[in-house]
């Protein structure tokens, strides 16, 4: 989504106005950059630890992965952008609860229509492929199988 520069918010963050109603903040302060960088390194360390401990039991490997991810989440949470992400996630959940979902019967009917269309389209594409194969290889090129 295109964005246009706006004014500096004064807290070391430059706000960009996007085409929606929300502003986008970029990481500007050194401490936030360090926190986000350390969070990324902790997540990578957890994944590397998971694979490095391949000779250990599954519990130890998963514990190493979980520890790395928990440290990454904790570090990211302390940054301004991490708190903004948490706020975004909460707002997303709140908006999802506002959606009026169709009744189960209607959802199943629409799903059945989609599956039927996919099957019909697959048969059409298969038939077109076989027809073109016959026309090109048998009629035009004369390569009989």
Q: For 67-118, what is each residue's pLDDT tens digit? A: 999 999 898 888 888 888 889 999 999 999 999 989 999 999 999 999 999 9
> Residue 18 — very low, low, confident or very high, per pLDDT cuts 50/70/90?
very low
Whose structure tokens read 């059945």? 112
Q: How many CB atoms lie within 10 A of CB 29?
A: 14
Whose structure tokens read 């992965």? 65
Instruction: Tell me whether residue 63 is exposed, middle or buried, using C-beta atoms within 10 angstroms of its C-beta: 0 to 12, 13 to 18, 19 or more.
Output: middle
Per domain, the residue ranges of the chain are: 30-98, 101-145
What are the counts of helices (DSSP H) followed by strands (DSSP E) for the chain? Answer: 4, 3
Q: What are phi and psi of 99, to 5 degrees?
A: -70, 135
Contact 64, 53 (CB under 8 A): yes
């Amino acid at each position: 989504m295109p964005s246009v520069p706006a004014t500096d918010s004064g807290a070391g963050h430059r706000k960009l106005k996007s085409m929606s109603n929300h502003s986008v903040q970029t990481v500007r302060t050194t401490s936030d950059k360090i926190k986000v960088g350390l969070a990324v390194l902790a997540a990578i360390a957890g994944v590397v630890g998971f694979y490095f401990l391949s000779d250990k039991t599954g519990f130890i490997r998963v514990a190493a992965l979980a520890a790395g991810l928990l440290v990454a989440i904790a570090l990211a949470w302390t940054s301004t952008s991490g708190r903004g992400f948490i706020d975004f996630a909460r707002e997303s959940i709140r908006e999802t609860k506002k959606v009026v979902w169709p009744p189960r019967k209607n959802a199943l009917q629409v799903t059945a229509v989609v599956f039927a269309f996919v099957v019909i389209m697959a048969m059409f594409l298969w038939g077109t492929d076989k027809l073109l194969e016959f026309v090109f290889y048998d009629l035009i090129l004369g390569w009989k199988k």
